[in-house]
Amino acid sequence: MGKPTHLSEADIAEFGRELDAVRDEVMNDLGERDARYIHNILATQRYSEVVGRAMLMAGFLPPAWLGGVGLLSLSKILENMEIGHNVMHGQWDWMNDPALDSGTYEWDNTCPSDQWKHSHNYVHHTFTNIVDLDRDLGYSVLRMSEDQAWEPRFLVQPGIALTLAAFFQWGVALHDLEWERIGKDKSWSEVGVQARGIWGKVRNQLFKDYVAFPLLAGPMAPFVISGNFAANFNRNIWSFMIIFCGHFTDEVEMFDVEETRDEARGQWYLRQLLGSSNLDGSVPFHILSGHLSYQIEHHLFPDMPSHRYREIAPRVQAICERYGLNYNTGPLSKQFGGVVKRILRMSLPHRRKGNTLADESSVDAPVYAEAA
């Protein structure tokens, strides 16, 4: 846990300046080819949904049902990962296109976009991998760091993780309620406002997938309902895998409040690098991941159009090598294997003390100061 000690403050400042230069170069180059890219993605997502839903209405034919599930899954994955997530980061605001406006975009998910932007864009991207501040560290239900106090409930966290994967959009929807704050610095009236927003979004999503389209299908309604459920399940599993591989592989670093106080730009970049991990793969794989397969680049430059991460990744990796910093990347099988190992290891009552593991009962729980 913590930052590398071989870099001086001057080194870290220069590291930050080099990354700033990469960002400025790309952001000053945005134009027609970027607009063409996102319009092609939007068209692919929309056509996949239309054709997929039409095929589900002929779902009594197994090939049609399977094809419909595949295309609808593709549509939902593209909409959540490459479109919705990235639009809400403001990656396409420069186009002044109302359909891609981060302030008004509402995605195909049970989580309201305004609550997602708070829990993800603000909390997670500001306090990335800081124990007790980054609520994405285990999503308040899993223990993912030795410096999170162990509780008996974590013995069953492998099962909880599987459940979260299967119903991931529902976990995301409830995440920003911040149950642990209720009755402390968050009132029930605030929770009520959020809950009404969640219910409104859930109602719309359930009506669309399990009432409106099945009614249009008439006698084919059971095939449409089952196809929509399968597509949502596929999207949930895929999202869980990609997102967890971004921050919970074996090599990622965790941080405490004290060592991240008063961060300069270079220090913030350094934390984003050390708290993230990438996935190797083909261009279609990167697109389906919403380019979160380049989680390092995404955390360094969250408002940069995602398809540009492919271009700058070799430059970022070269900068890291020059400063002797780990650029954590690998195939999906290796990285997800690391995630599974972490989930299993953290379910047991041990925490790290120095370079050794000690029984939780013999070590005082860490105490952190509040963030400024």
Beta bridge partners of 353: 356
Query: Side-chain half-sphere of 221: how many Cα atoms within 13 Å?
Result: 10
Q: Is 280 in contact with 330 (CB distance < 8 Å)?
A: yes
Tokens 């459920």, residue located? 229
Per-residue pLDDT of the chain (372 residues; tens, 9 = 90+): 455 668 999 999 999 999 999 999 999 999 999 999 999 999 999 999 999 999 999 999 999 999 999 999 999 999 999 999 999 999 999 999 999 999 999 999 999 999 999 999 999 999 999 998 999 988 889 999 998 899 999 999 999 999 999 999 999 999 999 888 888 888 999 999 999 999 999 999 999 999 999 999 999 999 999 999 999 999 999 999 999 999 999 889 999 888 888 889 999 999 999 999 999 999 999 999 999 999 999 999 999 999 999 999 999 999 999 999 999 999 999 999 999 999 999 999 975 544 333 444 333 333 323 332
Dig out the tokens for 307 from the structure: 């398809």
pTM exceeds 0.85 for this model: yes
Q: Which residues contact 239 (CB under 8 A, 6 or more apart)?
A: 77, 80, 81, 168, 169
Torsion angle (degrees, nearest 10) of CA 238, 240, 245, 246 = 110
Dig out the tokens for 75 from the structure: 């549509």
pLDDT at 252: 93
pLDDT at 351: 55
pLDDT at 109: 96
Kind plus residue range of the DSSP H or E element containing 191: helix 188-207
The amino acid at 14:
E
Burial class (CB in 10 A: 0-12, 13-18, 19+), 75: buried
pLDDT at 95: 97
Q: Of 112, 20, 89, 103, nearest to 290 (Cα)?
A: 89
DSSP 31: S
Residues 306 and 309: their CA atoms lie apart, in Å, by: 6
Evaluate the CA torsion angle 56, 62, 67, 70 in order and state its sign: positive
Dig out the tokens for 210 from the structure: 């399990």
Q: How far is CA 27 from CA 34, 85, 94, 240, in A?
A: 11, 19, 10, 29
Q: Is 308 in contact with 26 (CB distance < 8 Å)?
A: yes
| Ranges of each domain in the chain | 9-28+109-346
Q: Is 115 in contact with 197 (CB distance < 8 Å)?
A: yes
Residues 236 and 243: their CA atoms lie apart, in Å, by: 11
DSSP 186: B
